[in-house]
Amino acid sequence: MFRRVLPAVTAFALLTACSVTTSDAPAPGERVVTLVTHDSFALSPELLEKFKADTGITIKPLAGGDAGEMTNKLVLTKDAPIGDVAFGVDSTFASRALKEGVFAEYASPEAQQGAQRYQLDPPNRLHAVDVGDVCLNIDVAAFKDIGEPKQYADLADPKYKDMLVVEDPATSSPGLAFLLGTIATFGERNWTNYWGQLKANGVKVVSGWEEAYTQDFSGSSGKGPRPVVVSYASSPSAEIGDDGTPRTKALLDTCYRQVEYAGVLNGAKNREDAEKVVDFLLGEQVQADVPGQMYVYPSREGVTLPEAWTKAAPLPASARSLPAAQVDANREQWVQQWRTLVQG
């Protein structure tokens, strides 16, 4: 994956590289938990400060690239882990991390407040922190005269020619999720036919979310030429006009569900404190913070969403998904097929 990119206004800059030098070593007696994350990790700084004040533990984020790159690093360094906890391995890469023994068993007491709905394995090596549904988004104003598309198949209709921009599934998290959504919808035998139709209908492919959403999509700040983009179900909450009406809309029949997980790394130097960090990520305060900071839905039940989300970005009642093991077994082949078909 590529990179999971979220709206830049929410980003909490991480100034760490995925390496540890001697200058990074904690002072004697200092309790530090290294949290390996993808590049889009964001939490309100005051929450991290409060956690330190309450527990004496400093959380040191360590950016590991996009979710796929981070997972690869965790696998390659599993015998000498680069951190104590990892956050951001998602449902498209989780089976690989579990198969490689990256994570240790730990049953967080906080997991029973909702995260258990997304459990992947009985030993509880991974705990769901958030849910982010990838869906087609449209610029509502662009479809007043021709009618809005509603499903995947609609985008192959000639009346929507040259309207769609998508992200490359080889380099982008939402791009891969969209590809997986089409495979879940049309099946392994027919998804290539659908992409052939999209290609014939003028689909544009770019490397990542930021380029697609902020440069090519007409419904956001870039006011580009294309009124349909692959983004998130939550994205319309950032596009509410002065009159209180969302300028964009997610097509909820085109959503593919991604779940992001956290877990204690096998061989963590600070195992006990690492467990406390996992509890923290699943706790009420962090769960209430993730919608505004990372534009994802909390895994915890009963968390109040921001008012804008209630109006413009409800969690889809249902979303497509594929078994993690199936994705792990076929991901590289599917992406290569896509490249040959769409970019070959």
Question: What CATH number did the domain enclosing 237 receive?
Answer: 3.40.190.10
CA separation for the pair 342, 122 (Å, rounded)? 39
Please indicate, yes or no, whether residues 145 and 48 belong to a single structural domain of this protein: no
Q: Are 238 and 285 members of one domain?
A: no
- On whether both 287 and 142 belong to a single domain, the answer is no
Q: DSSP letters along 228-246, please?
A: EEEEETTGGGG-B-TTS-B
Q: How many CB atoms lie within 10 A of CB 152?
A: 21
Of 3-7, 72-76, 254-258, 272-276, minimum mean pLDDT range: 3-7
Chain CA centroid to CA 333, Å: 22
What is the DSSP track for 64-94?
Answer: -SSHHHHHHHHHHTTTS-S-SEEEEEETTTH
Nearest alpha-carbon partner for 237 in 5, 45, 65, 7: 7
How far, in whole angstroms, is CA 14 from its chain's centroid? 17
pLDDT at 10: 34
Phi, psi of 109 (to 5 degrees): -65, -25
42 & 121 share domain: yes
Indicate whether 117 belongs to any domain: yes
Q: Which domain holds residue 82?
A: 8-131+258-310
What is the pLDDT at residue 344? 81
Q: Are 98 and 222 in the same domain?
A: no
Q: What is the DSSP letter of 36?
A: E
| Cα 271–Cα 273–Cα 277 angle in degrees, nearest 5 | 110
26 and 97 together in one domain: yes
Residue 270 included in any domain = yes
Q: How many whole angstroms separate alpha carbon 248 and alpha carbon 86?
A: 33
Tens of pLDDT, residue by residue over 101-128, are 999 999 999 999 999 999 988 889 999 9
Residues 250 and 262 in one domain: no
Q: Kindly report the pTM of this predicted structure.
A: 0.81
**Exposure class string for 2-41: b at 16+ Cβ within 10 A, else e:** bbbbbbeeeeeebebebeeeeeeeeeeeeebbbbbbbbbb
| 248 and 154, same domain (yes or no) | yes
How high is the pLDDT of residue 170?
A: 87
Which tens digits make up the pLDDT trace of 192-248?
999 999 999 999 999 988 899 999 999 998 899 999 999 999 999 989 988 888 999
Beta carbons of 166 and 205 less than 8 angstroms apart: yes
Report yes or no: 212 and 230 within 8 Å, Cβ to Cβ: yes
| 144 lies in some domain | yes
Residues 59, 40 share a domain: yes
Assess whether 138 and 22 both reside in one domain: no
Assigned token pair, 110:
């906080």
Task: Let me know if residue 2 belongs to a domain.
Answer: no
Residue 234, pLDDT score: 92
Alpha carbons within 13 A on the beta-carbon side of 179: 29
Same domain for 201 and 143, yes or no, is yes
The label of the residue with tokens 């409800």 reads 314
- How far apart CA 258 and CA 247 sit, in angstroms, is 24
Is there a single domain that holds both residue 172 and residue 272?
no
What's the domain count of the chain? 2
| Per-residue tokens: 81 | 């882990």
Q: Would you say residue 3 lies in a domain?
A: no
Token pair for 38: 């993808």
